[in-house]
Amino acid sequence: MAGRPGAGPLWALGGAALGVCLAGVAGQLVEPSTAPPKPKPPPLTKETVVFWDMRLWHVVGIFSLFVLSIIITLCCVFNCRVPRTRKEIEARYLQRKAAKMYTDKLETVPPLNELTEIPGEDKKKKKKKDSVDTVAIKVEEDEKNEAKKKKGEK
């Protein structure tokens, strides 16, 4: 220090900074304690009581049953069964295609009242030639024909 003028305060400043740093580092050092180490928690096993005096396997079982029931309910509601074979997949495809064609055909069919009323036809019910006559109808027709013949003779 004798060789340089003004070096004394610089050394003093450096020494003070070094002292502050060492004090900070010394404060971070952990001093060993004489207290016994904290005991480790017991390992988690299936017989560990979780809550409400229920063991861990009780809780896992109840939760898995709940989730399974939700999945089954959703599958039943939305009918989401996965087909297992190629034949089932093709059969479902053909079934959907046939159903779509059927609904498309139904949209082209006119309403029933348009089918039953034919323009220019008498309002009297005409006998269909395709219908099969019963014995009672034939007897009534024969009686009418005989009555007309008798009126014609008089």
How confident is the model over 28-37, as pLDDT tens digits?
Answer: 666 777 888 8
What is the tens place of the pLDDT at every residue in 60-101? 999 999 999 998 888 888 777 676 788 888 998 999 999 999
Mark 40-69 as b/e (b = at least 16 C-beta within 10 Å). eeeeeeeeeeeeeeeeeeeeeeeeeeeeee
Residue in 76, 51, 79, 45 with CA at minimum distance from that of residue 63:
51
SS3 31: coil
Residue 89 and residue 80 in contact, taking contact as beta carbons nearer than 8 Å: no
DSSP 49: E
Six-digit token string for 59: 């809780």
Convert the pLDDT of each residue in 43-71 to its tens digit: 888 788 888 888 888 999 999 999 999 98
Q: What is the pLDDT of residue 98?
A: 94
Beta bridge pairs of residue 49: 55
Instruction: Return the pLDDT at 121.
Output: 64
**If you compute the radius of gyration of the chain from its CA atoms, what whole number of angstroms results?**
51
Q: Is the pLDDT of residue 146 over 70?
A: yes
